[in-house]
Amino acid sequence: MADDVFKALADPTRRHILDGLVERDGQTLFEICARLVSRHGLGLSRQAVSQHLAVLESAGLVVTRREGRYKFHHLDTDPLQAVVTRWLRPEPPESTP
């Protein structure tokens, strides 16, 4: 699973998408596309953004919720926590002589 997270984070467009979800969680595809254009000047097709979202979703970083015709995308930071805690372990207490 960590490999999927690193692959997802390797692309700057996907990092921009995650940044946008940090600022405002629960966005539709249309909102994500609009934010990419207005904030980053990235005029990607909806299909291209959907493909990026699919990579983020397969890595567990984005969770979607359907409501009628709309699909809302939410950030899930649990996979990031798992990656971070993999290498950051509490230091053992120092032994006293």
Going along the chain from its start, the domains and CATH numbers come out as 2-83 (1.10.10.10)
- Reported as a single tens digit per residue, the pLDDT across 36-67 is 999 999 999 999 999 999 999 999 999 999 99
Task: Write out the DSSP string of the chain.
Answer: -HHHHHHHHTSHHHHHHHHHHHHSSSB-HHHHHHHHHHHH-----HHHHHHHHHHHHHTTSEEEEEETTEEEEEE--HHHHHHHHHH--PPPPPPP-
- Reported as a single tens digit per residue, the pLDDT across 67-79 is 999 999 999 999 9
Q: How many CA atoms lie within 13 A of 54 on its CB side?
A: 6
